[in-house]
Amino acid sequence: MKNFRGIYLYSQPENFERISEKLWEFELEGITEEENRLIIYLSEDSFLSTEEISSFLMQSGFDISGIEEFTPEIKNWNEEWEQNLRIMKIGKKIVVRPSNKPYETDLDEIVVIIDPKMSFGTGEHQTTRLVMEILENTLVTGKKVLDYGSGTAILAITAVKLGAGDVIALDNDEWCLLNGNENVELNDVKGKIEVKLGSLADLGPDKFDLILANINRHILIENAEMMLQQIQPGGTVILSGILNDDVKDILEVFSRYSKFSSTRFDKDEWSALKLENTRIYS
């Protein structure tokens, strides 16, 4: 069983989303939110200190009222997610359910079975829901799709169930490789999705009709050019994991490398962008 280091970070709750987004610039195992604090999980061999985190956030303009390290209780995480996950309807016809909760499907519904374990992507978060709702209204039949930062592979699986052709689910986390393959098996889409461990650079000359990227702002910005180089001329890119205030910055960065038409979708403080007819500058 994997062990973790834990850090309690205290600040104003209205700053939590922005602080969480900023903290993902470090190598973290996870972040959870409570009423008056964030709980940061690090691998047990991480050398990241509370002083480094506090200094980094204060230099970024955040008011931190306290930070302390603790030893997380060792839990059976499988039991934890089994107790908390629920069946969700997303959009008009997508249903997400854990494998331990049966569901009687209507004829026009698409059911995606997800057991997340230690990976991100259950359909609970606004960023994932936004992409799934956009996918439901996007023609994906026969398209070659990349799910970049795939986590549980929920978006890759959804794309296949909406008619996509070859799909690659790519993540740099070994947990996601394991969990993504498990969820592919659960949904009986093995052979249609290849779950890969690595980065965009590892894909070589592959080109895609559609790229999905529900990841953090700094990763979107750092990988914008490479992502656009791997989209077919005239293809579509769907970006999520973006706070409302960051939309302008994201569009500015992506427009340095490509021409496209963009549509914005909002859910609470989160936004997603659909970039269509992308043509990289030569």
Confidence at residue 34, expressed as pLDDT on a 0 to 100 scale: 87
Which amino acid, residue 212? Answer: L
Question: Closest Cα partner for 45 from 9, 77, 8, 3?
Answer: 3
Instruction: Give pLDDT, residue 82.
Output: 56
pLDDT of residue 74: 64
Residue where the block lists tokens 């302390």? 68
The CA angle 111-94-113, to the nearest 5 degrees, is 30
Q: Please give the pLDDT value at position 140.
A: 96
DSSP string, 189-207: -BTTEEEEES-GGGGTT--
pTM, two decimal places? 0.83
Tell me the fold of 119-280.
Rossmann fold (3.40.50)
Structure confidence at residue 175 (pLDDT): 83
For residue 123, give the 3-state DSSP assignment: coil
H/E element, 214: strand 208-214
- The tokens 């962008």 sit on which residue? 273
* Closest to 278 measured CA to CA, from 206, 239, 242, 228: 228
Domain ranges of the chain: 4-70, 119-280
Q: In CATH terms, are 4-70 and 119-280 the same topology?
A: no
Domain 4-70 coded CATH 3.40.50.970: no
Segment-wise mean pLDDT, segments of 10 residues, the chain, 282 residues: 82 89 84 88 90 93 93 64 75 92 87 77 82 96 97 96 96 89 95 96 93 94 95 97 93 96 94 96 78
Give me the pLDDT at residue 262, please: 97
Torsion of CA 251, 252, 257, 259, to 10 degrees: 60
Task: Classify each residue of 182-218 as buried b or exposed e, where b means 16 or more C-beta atoms within 10 Å of its C-beta.
Answer: bbbebbebeebbebbeeebeebeeeebbbbbbbbbbe
Q: List the structure tokens of 280.
A: 């990289």
